[in-house]
């Protein structure tokens, strides 16, 4: 079983839509959690850390449920520039464990 699992999508949504991505992880001892964004043939860029209390950064909201080992990312008012692959990432102490990523395409 893969340590971090995500729905690969693709998610095709119109501009202005709200879209949610989910992710599960297998190691209950995992220490920190992130969402990274990766554009085609580019490096992953940190989008936001994820905290148990939930956190928001503009149009982006991340949630962590440690009991269910579940992480989510909500994007409101989608922009064309949000089109990318979103990687769910779990840090087990030194290594980042990545999901395969969820592909998002925002269309006009």
Partner 1 sequence: DAGVTQSPTHLIKTRGQHVTLRCSPISGHKSVSWYQQVLGQGPQFIFQYYEKEERGRGNFPDRFSARQFPNYSSELNVNALLLGDSALYLCASSPGQGAHEQYFGPGTRLTVT
Q: Which residues bind partner 1 (CB under 8 A)?
A: 4, 31-32, 34, 41-46, 49, 87, 91-101
User: Cα(8)–Cα(5) distance, rounded to whole angstroms?
Assistant: 9
Q: How far is the CB of 20 from partner 1 (least distance, A)?
A: 19
* Pairwise CA distance, residues 71 & 62, whole Å: 7
CB of 4 to partner 1, least distance (A): 8
Which C-beta is closer to partner 1: that of 36 or that of 63? 36
Given a contact cutoff of 8 angstroms between Cβ atoms, the answer to whether 20 and 76 are in contact is no
Nearer CB in complex with partner 1: 21/98: 98
Give Cα separations from 17 to 7, 44, 55, 100 (angstroms).
19, 24, 20, 23
Closer to partner 1 at the Cβ: 49 or 72?
49
CB 7 within 8 A of CB 21: yes
Least distance between partner 1 and beta carbon 42 (Å): 7
């Amino acid at each position: 079983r893969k340590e971090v699992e995500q729905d690969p999508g693709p998610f095709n949504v119109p501009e202005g839509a709200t879209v949610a991505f989910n992710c599960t992880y297998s190691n209950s001892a995992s220490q920190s959690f992130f969402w990274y964004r990766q554009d085609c043939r580019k490096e992953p860029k940190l989008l936001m850390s994820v905290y148990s209390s939930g956190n928001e950064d503009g149009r982006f909201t991340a949630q962590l449920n440690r009991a269910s080992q579940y992480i989510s990312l909500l994007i409101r008012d989608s922009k064309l520039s949000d089109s990318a692959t979103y990687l769910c990432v779990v840090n087990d102490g030194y290594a980042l464990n990545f999901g395969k990523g969820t592909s998002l395409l925002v269309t006009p």
